[in-house]
Amino acid sequence: MDDTLLTRALAKDRLATSRLLTLIARGEAIAEIDEAMAHAPRPAVIGLTGNGGVGKSTLVGKLIQPYRERGRRVAVLACDPESPLTGGALLGDRVRMPGSATDEGVFVRSLAVASGHQAVADHIGLMARVLGNYGIDRILLETVGAGQGDTAIRQIADVLVLLVQPEAGDDLQWEKAGLMEVADIVVVHKGDLPGAQRVEAQLKDLAKISMHAPEVVRASAAKGEGLETLIDSIERQLAVARDPA
């Protein structure tokens, strides 16, 4: 590693910060970076998960600006799968996160996740501290599109948001064990589509009779609806997660 890299990163240099993320993603110099970032503030990590096509990237893209308006500095870590055959990856989430090219308070990074791993890249905690050092205080961590059993993100995220959409199965689907049990917030996404209100009602009913009752929010990234409600909900859950009384 270039000797000046850590110094520059600690001085909040954007390119050095970006390079450290590359090293961490490659699993290089982990101990060294970990030591250098030992006193860096840790941003709140908000995990967003749900099946492929449910609208994670689009929703994340739409949360950036409202968060900026609340004075938060936001990073996105967008995970996409790596080919098990070639190790190659097509990281396309940025396409759905339209530009804030001149805003220093937004940092978007795409990460490839090796096959056979869970739904997020390794060393996310260390990446979070490197971004925290840069001044980021909210990280939107998007999974590759987790299935029902992929619950490793629970250990990484301070708040876990699960996206579901209308017409994704009958109400028994929600009874299955897995992600629904570990989510703090369930977003009925594509909330402008027919059936969304019914799904919202089913999930709210279910929450009433469950030991673990996530907040249920209906939102539509396409229509820009429910975004502020969702952020309120995330911030409420963060307060609980950080100060469990």
Partner 1 sequence: MALEIPLRVVLAKVGLDGHDRGIKVVARGLRDAGFQVIYAGLWQSIEDVVRTVADEDADYLGISILSGAHMTLAPRIMEALREAQLGHVGVILGGIIPVEDIPKLKEIGIERVFGPGTPIDEIVEFLKQQGSRTHG
Task: Select 84 or 194, whichever has its Cβ closest to partner 1.
Answer: 84
Measured CA to CA, the distance from residue 201 to residue 129 in angstroms comes to: 39
By beta-carbon proximity to partner 1, the closer residue of 1 and 177 is 1
Q: Return the number of the residue (134 or 174) whose C-beta is nearest partner 1.
A: 134
Buried b (16+ CB within 10 A) or exposed e, 134-164: bebbbbbbbbbbbeeebbebeebbbbbbbbb
The minimum distance between CB 112 and partner 1, in angstroms, equals: 5
Least gap, CB of 105 to partner 1 (angstroms): 12
Are residues 76 and 128 in contact, defined by beta-carbon separation less than 8 angstroms? no
Contacts with partner 1 by CB under 8 A lie at: 2, 14-15, 18-19, 21-22, 26, 82-83, 85-92, 94-95, 99, 101-102, 107-110, 112
**Residue 82: CB minimum distance to partner 1, A:** 8
* Closer CB to partner 1, 83 or 173, in the complex: 83
Supply the minimum distance, in Å, between the C-beta of residue 34 and partner 1. 19
From CA 45, how far away is CA 156, in angstroms rounded?
Answer: 7
Q: 145 or 166, CB closer to partner 1?
A: 145
Chain center to CA of 110: 12
Q: Which of 114, 53, 54, 45 is nearest to 79 (CA)?
A: 114
- Supply 206's token pair: 């279910």
- Residue 243 CB, shortest distance to partner 1, in Å, is 32
